[in-house]
């Protein structure tokens, strides 16, 4: 995460789990990325990261600039180096 911070990037996770489930997950896995709860699906729906049948969150990575413009979007778990390259090129 330090490489992202050096590029002035903020990393966070959003999914449909409850605050309690996020805390348990973070504690159990020593997860240092802030997790935001979107139980109502507003954020995941707006970013088209909500599974239409199950209602669960589809893992998707976005890089959003300071003006709120999406500069990168990819489903799955892209390599960190790919994300860092996008941030370096901005």
Map out the domains of the chain as residue ranges.
Answer: 2-82
Q: Report pLDDT for 7.
A: 94
The pLDDT assigned to 18 comes to 94
What pTM was estimated for this model as a whole? Answer: 0.81
**Cα gap 64→22, rounded to integer Å:** 23
pLDDT at position 55: 85
Cα(87)–Cα(90) distance, integer angstroms: 5
Spans of the chain, pLDDT less than 50: none
Q: How many residues does the chain have?
A: 90
Domain boundaries 2-82, CATH class? alpha beta
């Amino acid at each position: 995460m330090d490489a992202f911070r050096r590029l002035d990037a903020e990393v966070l996770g959003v999914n449909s789990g409850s605050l309690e489930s996020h805390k348990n997950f973070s504690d159990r896995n020593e997860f240092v990325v802030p997790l935001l709860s979107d139980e109502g699906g507003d954020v995941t729906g707006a970013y088209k990261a909500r599974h239409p049948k199950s209602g669960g969150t589809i893992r998707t990575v976005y890089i959003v600039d300071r003006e709120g413009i999406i500069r990168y979007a990819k489903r799955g778990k892209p390599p960190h180096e790919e994300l860092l390259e996008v941030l370096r090129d901005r």
